[in-house]
């Protein structure tokens, strides 16, 4: 049995059956083809990679701004479009198939 946790969803995969649980209140059993599973795994993986990239950017931005504040300079923040472009370029360099909505949802 393989478990994947994504946001409030719990996805259990056993054999050819896919079971999705949301907040332990609603349970749905999906029987999916291998291509559908692959697309789902790809979407979850890209979402995770996007989150990690954005988190890394924020940590770097925070550390740089701490240095700027110590030197009595104004902090510098990336705009959303700039963040999106950085993430897109990184995901493209990793040859991942993604939708820009994933990036916007992670922001």
Q: pLDDT at residue 49 above 90? A: yes
Instruction: Determine if the pTM surpasses 0.75.
Output: no
Q: In this model, does residue 55 exceed pLDDT 50?
A: yes
Q: Looking at the predicted structure, is the pLDDT value of residue 86 above 70?
A: yes
Q: Is the pLDDT of residue 80 over 80?
A: yes
| 79, two tokens | 């705009």
> If pLDDT is split at 50, 70 and 90, which confidence band does 64 have?
very high
State the number of CA atoms in the 13 A half-sphere of 64 facing the CB. 11
């Amino acid at each position: 049995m393989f478990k994947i946790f994504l946001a409030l969803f719990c996805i259990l995969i056993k054999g050819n059956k896919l079971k999705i649980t949301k907040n332990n209140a609603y349970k749905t059993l999906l029987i999916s083809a291998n291509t559908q599973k692959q697309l789902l795994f790809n979407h979850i993986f890209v979402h995770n990679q996007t989150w990690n990239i954005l988190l890394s950017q924020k940590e770097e931005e925070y550390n740089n701004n701490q240095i700027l504040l110590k030197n009595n300079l104004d902090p510098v923040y990336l705009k959303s479009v700039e963040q999106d472009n950085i993430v897109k370029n990184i995901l493209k360099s990793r040859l991942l198939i993604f939708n820009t909505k994933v990036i916007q949802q992670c922001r």
